[in-house]
Amino acid sequence: EAQVTQNPRYLITVTGKKLTVTCSQNMNHEYMSWYRQDPGLGLRQIYYSMNVEVTDKGDVPEGYKVSRKEKRNFPLILESPSPNQTSLYFCASGWGNEQFFGPGTRLTVL
Partner 1 sequence: AQKITQTQPGMFVQEKEAVTLDCTYDTSDQSYGLFWYKQPSSGEMIFLIYQGSYDEQNATEGRYSLNFQKARKSANLVISASQLGDSAMYFCAMREGNRTNAGKSTFGDGTTLTVKP
Residues lying near partner 1 in the complex (CB under 8 A) are found at 30-31, 33, 35, 40-45, 48, 50, 56, 58-59, 88, 90, 92, 94-97, 99-101, 103-104
Closer residue to partner 1 in complex, CB, 74/90: 90
How many other C-beta atoms lie within 10 A of the C-beta of residue 32? Answer: 25
DSSP class of residue 85 equals G
Nearer Cβ to partner 1, position 59 or 70?
Answer: 59
Nearer to partner 1, 63 or 104 (CB): 104
> Is the CB of residue 88 less than 8 Å from the CB of residue 106?
yes
d(CA 90, CA 4): 10
